């Protein structure tokens, strides 16, 4: 009975969006808690390790839990949560006000939860090409987001 309710939640884009945002909030809070408990020096090995572990946890949760049980949905969920992970790591650490970052996270969650991105493809070739495309698009979005945050921080410093 419980598994049937979870599968129904993943079937709707609204439910999947709420799950993505729940993971985003919990992951962001956990990262901040660990960051404040450890107090790593900026750009130190421990800060980098904590950041990579947080991003890895976001992607792993996407692959294992926040998806339907087929490859396309797993890749889409991992890519969406990778982008949400970068947004979560930016909250409170840049000159951009946090509400704007939360709106960006909501937009990413809504786009990543669309049913067309989670349907099961029949061809292994199509699935492979979709997976490569999803990875490149998500990495591109992360690079653009990170570059945009850097530019906005430099503008704010001047």
The pLDDT tens digits of the residues spanning 16-43 come to: 999 999 999 999 999 999 998 988 888 7
Cα angle vertex 106, ends 33, 26, to 5°?
Answer: 25
End-to-end CA separation in angstroms for the chain = 58
3-state secondary structure of 153: helix
pTM of the model as a whole: 0.89
pLDDT at 9 over 70: no
Per-residue pLDDT band for 158 (boundaries 50, 70, 90) equals confident
The dihedral over CA atoms of 8, 54, 82, 107, expressed in degrees to the nearest 10, equals 70
Task: Answer whether 101's CB lies under 8 Å from 87's CB.
Answer: yes
Whole-number Å distance between alpha carbons of 58 and 41: 23
Mean pLDDT of the chain: 89
Q: Is pLDDT at 65 greater than 70 in this prediction?
A: yes
- Mean pLDDT on 127-141: 94
């Amino acid at each position: 009975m419980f598994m049937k309710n979870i599968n129904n939640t993943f079937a709707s884009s609204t439910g999947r969006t709420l799950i993505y945002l729940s993971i985003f909030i919990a992951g962001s809070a956990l990262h901040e808690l660990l960051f404040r408990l450890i107090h790593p020096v900026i750009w130190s090995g421990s800060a980098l390790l904590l950041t990579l572990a947080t991003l890895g946890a976001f992607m792993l949760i996407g692959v294992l839990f926040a998806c339907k049980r087929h490859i396309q949905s797993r890749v889409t969920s991992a890519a969406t949560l990778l982008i949400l992970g970068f947004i979560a790591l930016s909250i409170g650490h840049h000159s951009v006000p946090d509400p704007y970052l939360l709106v960006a996270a909501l937009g990413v969650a809504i786009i990543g939860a669309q049913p067309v991105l989670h349907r099961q493809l029949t061809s292994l070739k199509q699935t492979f090409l979709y997976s490569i495309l999803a990875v490149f698009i998500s990495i591109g979005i992360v690079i653009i987001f990170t570059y945009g945050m850097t530019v906005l921080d430099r503008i704010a410093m001047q």
